[in-house]
Amino acid sequence: MRRASTSVHALVWRQIRTSTVVVSALLLSFVKVGLVSFNASGGVTGMRSMQVLLKNPAISALYGRAKSLPTAGSLVQWKMGMYLAFAVAIWSGLMATRVTRGGEDDETWDLLVVGRTGRQPALAIAMAVLAESGLAVGLVTFLTFLSGSQGTTDSLLSSLGIVGMAWCGGAIGVLSSQLFSPRRSATQVALSALGLAFILRMFADATASNGWIRWATPFGWLENIGAFQHRSVVWCAPLFLGSLAITFIAWRLQEHRDIGIAWWTRADRSQARLTWLKTPWGFAWRERRSTFGVWAVGLVALGLTFGYLTNALVQFCRSDPAFVKLLNRWGYGSMVTGRGFVSEVCVIMAVALGFLVVTMLCMVATDQVQGRLDLPLAFGTSRTKWMASAVFSTTLTTLTIALCCGVATWAGVVVSGTSMSVAVPLEGMLNALTTAPLIAGVCVLVIATTPRFSYIIMAALLSVMYIIAVLGPTLSWPRWLLDLSPFYHLKLVPDVATNWGATIVMTAAGIAAGALGWARFVRGDLAN
């Protein structure tokens, strides 16, 4: 029997310790692989040929600004740093809403505040634990860079950036938990705010005239720190002080509200709306519609941004033949045209769509773990219908968002001044969806076997698969390992024909995994 937690600190830490270990392990893996890829790409000599790549505004918008790549750490910071920081901020925001708003929604927070601890100290302790988890992932980053023989100062600045973004994400999550309920709404607002901040950073780096926007986003502050580049530690101040200010506001807001509600909570006497509640199919849509809205807005905005960058990339390629030679050398020669760049963007969007599928399906696991399935299953709804409705709604929403994202990408391309048929990004987005059946099938299997940790497992699995697809060919990893990644088999459609053989195999594997998971889920008990 596991020993019970005896303090608020231990209780909160127990809720986030598993995800902290997983995120730390992923950071360690990403950084380690990035450091190894530096030598595999030719070291300093190989990076000199990429100097022209750093001047392109479209590339800067994707990865951030860099003047040169003289070390392995500089390559990791430029190619992965911004996305690692974004992932850490998202994770911290999710954990913040889980331990605060989630605790109030399921009434476990009541047990903390009625005793000697009190409301304000309990929230302060939760904030402290979130800060400690951010320090933990930052420490892992620092030690990983040091183990790769990178400079102490630059390694410290990079890890401070990770800690700062973890604190920022946690602060936004805690503030959102005070303002919105239930937890799902608080989480969506927090993640939307972080997504908007990331898109603002992309616009800031897209052109020289937009540089001032960088001051308005924490991702801009992170970039200005300049780890492995210009080293400006002063930009750590707004990153950390801003997070502390947001946390203090959240702490004060809790003083003026009741436990269990937020500043924006529907009144208890509002008339219940029974639309979409009569069948599992309707409920599945109603449960996911807010998530659908948030993801649709976020991915459409991202598609518009990517599309708008197309003209900048094409114009730069036409003015610099050396850049074209470099892209050909690295296997990205298709990006010299607007059609090719959009094809690359659609492959990247496949990862985002994979996370969308996981997010939608894992709601079944959340319902089961929190006991929300007890009543519908007890009153005649079968497990088969419940899972079928979840899969159907996930399929429909993912397809709809993919098509909307394709249209948005086309609109961005047209606005940027490049002529293109709307069929080009639509074909690319449909190609990106070819990985969805495999991801959905594996997700159903994980939900049926380990519902409590299903999202963490799937998020880690998708991250590893993406690492394999991006860095595996460069590092000459075994072919059997590359074949395990669904993203490795994606072709640059419509520049290249769809890989129908891999698509059929992935679909069949997804159906097989889903069938196994479905059978286990149908035979499960309410508590499992």
Alpha carbon 388 to its chain centroid, in Å, reads 26
Token pair 């496949």: residue: 350
**Paired tokens of 299:** 């991915």
pLDDT at 153: 95
pLDDT at 475: 74
pLDDT per residue as tens digits for the range 286-302: 888 888 998 999 999 99
CA–CA separation, 164 vs 222, rounded Å?
8
Integer distance in angstroms from the first to the last C-alpha of the chain? Answer: 18
What three-state secondary structure class fits 264? strand
Q: Nearest-CA neighbor of 325 among 70, 54, 59, 49?
A: 49
Alpha carbon 250 to its chain centroid, in Å, reads 24
Q: Are 162 and 49 in contact (CB under 8 A)?
A: no
**Paired tokens of 294:** 């948030």
pLDDT at 318: 66
**Paired tokens of 311:** 């003209």
DSSP 260: T
Alpha carbon 266 to its chain centroid, in Å, reads 29
**Paired tokens of 463:** 């991250």
CA distances from 417 to 337, 412, 413 (A): 13, 9, 7
CA–CA separation, 193 vs 177, rounded Å?
13
The three-state (H, E, C) secondary structure of 123-188, written as one string: HHHHHHHHHHHHHHHHHHHHHHHHHCCCCHHHHHHHHHHHHHHHHHHHHHHHHHHHHECCHHHHHH
The length of the chain is 528
Domain limits, the chain = 7-259, 277-528
Residues of the chain with pLDDT under 50: 1-2, 4, 267-270
Q: Measured on CA atoms in the order 34, 40, 45, 50, is the torsion positive or negative?
A: negative
pLDDT at 4: 45
Q: Are 178 and 253 in contact (CB under 8 A)?
A: yes
pLDDT at 486: 95
